[in-house]
Amino acid sequence: MQRPRGIDETVVIVCAAGTGWARVGDTTHRIGSQSALIIPRGAPHTYGADEGSPWTIWWCHLLGTDVAELVETLEVSVERPIVPIRRVEKAVALLDEIVSSLERDQSPPRLIGTAGAAWKLLTQINVDRVMPEDGDPLQRAMSHLAERLDSSVRVPELAKLVGVSPSHLSALFRKVTGGGVLAYHQSLRMARARQLLDGSPATVASVADELGYTDPLYFSRQFSRFHGMSPTQFRRRDAS
């Protein structure tokens, strides 16, 4: 495929197997399996299959007001258009849904569903790009925090446990979650608090105790700061 002037759509190509190549702008890239090629709208490009091991690809062309912002979150550019994908089967399933929907008909309801699948495709590629792989320090730290909802955690001790420095661990968390280690841990504890308040008759003091807060009033203050309402108000919100 050769498009020396580019096109008005953003091109998304997911390589499920084999290899291929693409020249985007002035640079040629090699594309292997479990990777996506994102070609920004307007970028001149040429691409094709490798002769020795031709690729198997799924692709779509995207337009819309959300596309530019979603592509920006992928941190791709004309110079760096390739994104690795660890869970390629999820991306392929969404592309299959897009193709199958358009093959059935192009009625307004069908197009709405197809647009939703395309939006999910870009977000899924982004999530797959930033989330940690099984066994790496960030994933192990996240798993440890999820198992320690009933107590506070010290960052230096957690960093030592997963084998990195405290500053490096904090940087990993900020990149993926947008906040620090303790902020992520608090979000997990508050999510559990919401589950208990919604799904059980436990008192606020009991919820606080289960989450490792020895002072129910302190727990209530932390909950209010996080949610903008007290635990009691949160529990009563559906009745008001």
With b for 16 or more beta-carbon neighbours within 10 A and e for fewer, the 171-208 pattern comes to: ebbeebeeeebbebbbebbbebbbebbeeeeeebeebb
Provide the pLDDT for residue 87: 86
Rounded to whole angstroms, the Cα distance separating 231 from 134 reads: 35
Residues 59, 37: Cα–Cα separation, whole Å:
9
pLDDT of residue 239: 57
| The domain over range 137-236 is classified in CATH as 2.40.30.20 | no
Q: What CATH superfamily is the domain 2-130?
A: Regulatory protein AraC (2.60.120.280)
**Inter-residue contact 81 to 35 (CB < 8 Å):** no
Query: In the chain, which residues have pLDDT < 50?
Result: none
The model's pLDDT over 53-85, given as tens digits with 9 standing for 90+, comes to 999 999 999 999 899 999 998 999 999 999 998
For the entire predicted model, the pTM comes to: 0.71
- Cα(83)–Cα(73) distance, integer angstroms: 12
C-alpha Rg value of the chain to the nearest Å: 23
What residue spans define the domains of the chain? 2-130, 137-236
**How high is the pLDDT of residue 238?**
61
Whole-angstrom Cα distance, residue 186 to residue 209?
15
Q: Residue 176: its pLDDT value, please?
A: 86
Contact 102, 114 (CB under 8 A): yes
